[in-house]
Amino acid sequence: MKTIIEPFRIKVVEPLKMTTRAERETALQKAGYNVFLVPAEDVLIDLLTDSGTGAMSSEQWAGIMRGDESYAGARSYYRFEARLQEITGFEHIIPTHQGRASERILFELVGGEGKVIPNNNHFDTTRANIEHSGAKAVDLVIDEGRDPRSRHPFKGNIDLDKLDGLVKEVGVEHIPCVMVTVTNNSGGGQPVSLENLRAVRAFCDRHGLPFFLDACRFAENAYFIQQREPGQADRPVTEIAREMFSLSDGATISAKKDGMVNIGGVLLLRNEELYIGARNLLILTEGFPTYGGLAGRDLEAMAQGFEEVLHEDYLQYRIRSTAYLGEKLLASGIQIVEPPGGHAIYIDAADFCPHIPRSQFPGQALVCALYRHAGIRGVEIGSVMFGAHARMELVRLAIPRRVYTQSQIDYVIEAIQEVHAERDRMRGLKIVEEPPVLRHFTARFAEI
C-alpha cells in the first residue's frame, strides 16, 4: 500500500483553542510581531519547533512512574546509561538538562579566545556558546547546501576542501575540534552521508583533531543514509547510527529531538581527561553526574525514547509525513529547501515575497502572515536569527514528533497556499528592540 499511516493510536487528547483573525492580530501586535512572545494557547498549529514538543509513548509515561529519584546512583541513571552505551558505543554518558548545556560544558573545555570551530552549519545555541567562550564558529557546508533548489541527497555534508582551506588559513593549532551537525538543522534539516562522516574522520586523524557530532537528530540522519546512500539499504538503522557515533570522539545531543522527550540532553565523550573536566563542570551548574540537572523520571523517559526513535516504522512515517507537506507546497509553486528535510520544511521566504528586501526580514513577515491568517506558528531562520551570517531567508515549519494528524497538516498546506495567493499584500518589518545575543527570541518588530 502507498499510504503510510501513523504507527500509533491516540490515547490522550489535548483540545486546541480556536481564535478569530482579529484576536490573532491583537496577539501579534502585543507580541511586537515576534511569535516567540505569543502565548501558546493562542496558537492553533504550533510548528515553532520539534524540540521538546513531541508526544511521549505509553511506555515512556510508565517510565515516568518508575523513576528513581535518589540523588546519587539512581537506578534510572544506570538504565539510561546502559541504553545510551548500547546505541552509541560511547563509554562516558553525561546527562544534561538540554542540548545547550552539553554545548556550554564542551566549549568551556575546548573553546576560548583565538580558537576556531568549524561545522557544516552551527545551530544558533552552538554558535552562541562557542562565541561566548571567545572562539569563532565557522560554517563550511557544501555549496549545494546553500542552494534551496539543489536536490543533492546529502546537502548537510561538510565541504572537505573548505575544511582543508580553514586548517591552512588559521593553523591546526587554533582548531580544537571539527563538528558536524546531523541532520543539519540550520541548513534545512538536511542529512550528512556516512561517506562524508568517514572522510571527516580520516581528515581529523591526519591532522590530529578531535571530531564531534551535534547528534540531536541522529536517528533521522541514519534513516536518510539507509534510504539514500549507495550500499546502505540493507543495513538496520541501529547499525548505521552506531557507525555514525563510532566515527566521532564525542557528541552533544538535545534529547528533545530524537530522544523523544520534553526535556533532556546528553554529552558523550571518549577522552578520559575531557570527561573528568566535563563532569566537574556538570557538578558546578547541572547536578551530580547520575542526574545532571534532570529528575530520575526524565532519565527513564529518555532511555525509552532513544530506543523507540530507532524503530524503522516510526522513522518511515516520520520522514514520509514531513516530505508530504513539502511536496504539496512544491506542487503549489511554493519554493522550499529541496529535497524535504527530516524534521521540518523550510520555505524560501525570499522567493515567497520577493517585494520584501532582506533588510526588512521577509522570513519574519511570512511567519507573521501565517499566524495572522491561520494561527500557524513557524520560525524565521534568516537575517533575524543569524544577522549578517544568514545565507538564506527561510521560514521553518518544524513538525513535532507524533503530535499532529494528516488532516491538521492538510490545513497547514491550505493556509500557506492562501497566504501565497495574496502575498503581494505582505509587509516588511523593522526591529524596534533587540537583546545583545540570540535576538530572535525576544526582539520586537514594527510593520513597515
Ligand X SMILES: Cc1ncc(COP(=O)(O)O)c(C=O)c1O
Which residues of this protein are in contact with ligand X, per CB under 6 A? 51, 98-100, 123, 125-126, 181, 185, 214, 216, 254, 256, 265
Please provide residue 20's backbone torsions phi and psi, each rounded to the nearest 5 degrees.
-90, 165
Please tell me the distance from the alpha carbon of residue 133 to that of residue 374, in angstroms, as a whole number: 41
Give the nearer residue to ligand X in terms of CB position, either 293 or 428. 293
* 162-186 residues labelled b (16+ CB within 10 A) or e (exposed): bbeebbeebeeeebbbbbbbbbbbb
Instruction: Report how far residue 410's alpha carbon sits from residue 4's, in angstroms, rounded to the nearest whole number.
Output: 15
Measured from the CB of residue 260, what is the shortest distance to ligand X in angstroms?
A: 13
- Shortest separation between residue 85's beta carbon and ligand X, angstroms: 21
> Which CB sits closer to ligand X, 378 or 428?
378
Residue at grid coordinates 520539534? 50
- Cell readout for 226 is 539507509
Q: Which residues pair with 51 in a beta bridge?
A: none
Least gap, CB of 442 to ligand X (angstroms) = 16
Which is nearer to ligand X, 346 or 352 (by Cβ)? 346
C-beta of 356: minimal distance to ligand X in Å? 26
For the bound state, the minimum distance from the C-beta of residue 181 to ligand X, rounded and expressed in Å, comes to 5
| 429 vs 445: CA distance, rounded Å | 6
Q: Which is nearer to ligand X, 28 or 109 (CB)?
A: 109
Residue at shortest CB range from ligand X: 99
Q: Determine if residue 89 is left, alpha or beta; phi over 0 gives left, psi from -120 to 50 gives alpha, anything else beta.
A: left
Q: Which is nearer to ligand X, 259 or 428 (CB)?
A: 259
Cβ 119 to ligand X, closest distance in Å?
Answer: 9
Helix %, strand %, coil % of the chain (to 5): 45, 15, 40
Report d(CA 365, CA 412) in Å as an integer.
17
Residue with Cβ nearer ligand X (76 or 221): 221
Q: Specify the residue, 250 or 428, whose C-beta has the smaller distance to ligand X.
A: 250
Closest contact distance (angstroms) between CB of 440 and ligand X is 12
Question: For residue 312, how far is the Cα from the chain centroid?
Answer: 20
